[in-house]
Structure formats: C-alpha cells, structure tokens
Structure 1
Amino acid sequence: MKTLTSLRDTEESAKEELEMYSVSVNKEKVDKVKLLKDRVFLKSVGIAIVLCFITQFIGFNAVSYYLQTILVSTNTNVMPEVASLVISLIQILAALCAAIVTDRWKRRHILLSSLIGVFIGLLRSLIFNAFMVPI
C-alpha cells in the first residue's frame, strides 16, 4: 500500500488499484497472446534479458566460480577458502545494503550516482594508463 501510494500520489487511487487487482485475479485468465503484444510487458522482458546478458558478459560468474583458483595463483598469505568465504559474505552484505538503500532513495538517484562513480573510475584508469611508461 505504501509503494502504491507513493507511485499513484493518492491513497484512494492506490486502494482502487488494489481492489481492481483483487477482483481481476479471481475472474480473469491471462491471455498469453495479448500479453506478448503488450509493449510494456515486452519492454520489461527486454530490459530483464539485457541485464542478464550484461551480467554474463561482465564475467562475474567466471570470477566467482574460479575464485579459489585465482586466489591460489596470486600466492597470497591468506588461505583461498577463507578469502572466498569473506568475499561471499561481503557480497551478501552488499546485497542487503542495496535493498535497504533502494527502499529509502529513488532508483534514479542511485543509478546516477553509480554511473558517476563508474565514470570517475574509468576516467582515472584511462588517465593512469595513458601516462604510464612501459618498462
């Protein structure tokens, strides 16, 4: 109800939408052909598919699957099993923090701030690599 009220501006319109949803759930069957012709649905599915492909092309799964092998090849003093566990715990904490932050602030502000952070990081690495003299 809180989310619908913030999206619809008034509590009355949110209540109407909840009532309409509860009535339609009990009576209507989903027409799959009509759903596949709906532009909003197709746009949502397209965005989800693009995000899935991006996460695959970034290589996150490859790094997480071979994390212990990567840590062994770096010859660090930390045991690879412990380092892998610590990295996994950090990922869980980051996911929890992301859920809390997303609930409190608008998604657009979060996306813009992360975009600015990525831009600064890439700009820094570009400048660093441009002036780095090969040995």
Structure 2
Amino acid sequence: MDSPGMFQEGRRGYDRSQVDAYLAALAAGGPPVGFQGFDTVRRGYDRAEVDAHLAALSGVVPLPSAPPAPADFRGFDTGVRGYDRSQVDAYLAAFAAGGPPAGFQGFDTVRRGYDRAQVDAHLAALHRDLR
C-alpha cells in the first residue's frame, strides 16, 4: 500500500510523509494511535485524491471519524501559529451533533495550529447557515 507515485502532488496538499506513514500503519494492521489528521503543506499530496482513497478503504479499515462538512469544504491549512487543532475538531464535532457547544470561550493559539482566518470564516458560514 505504498503511496509514492499513488497520488499527484499539488501546490498545497497533505504532508507526504504523514500520508505515507498513515498508509504504512494501515497496511500493518490499523490506523496510527492518536491520529489527528494530515497537515496541509506546500507540494503535498492532492487532498481530494488522498481523501477519496481513504474513503474507499473505509469499508475495510476503520478511519478516524470527522464531523460532517459541506461538500466543498477541503479542511484547514496549518501554520506556524494557529488554533489548537483538537479544540477546533471537538468544536466542529459538537456542532455537527446539535449546534454550537454551550459556554464556548474560544480556541487556544498554538504552534502548528489550524489557520485562524480559515477557521473563523468556516465557523461564520456554519453559524450563518443556522439562521
């Protein structure tokens, strides 16, 4: 299940070494423990191709669950400083399960977090759709 050459490289895409390690772990018996998703980097694997490949495997191998998103949602880029990925993911999961979480105070800013402008725009669109 090697991925070199399996996916096209794009201007921005999933971190190739992370995708390769994930697929190697799948081939060895299951997804890596603590998998949080792939970072988006310059010259990474095409996200749509990787997502389609993982979706095709989902009937055979359990994949990490993700909250439903609009069809055109491609995920967030990561940056040197950004929103804590686990907090954003938990918020989106709670949102998908029934709306915005009560008592939400905001996300911590951390190294290698989700792009703040992208998260803010996505959340604004989700909240706009609620009205």
Same fold (TM over 0.5): no
Task: Compare the two structures and name the one with the higher helix fraction.
Answer: 1
- Structure whose alpha-carbon radius of gyration is higher: 1
> Normalized per residue, which structure has more strand?
2
Which TM-score band (shorter chain)?
under 0.3
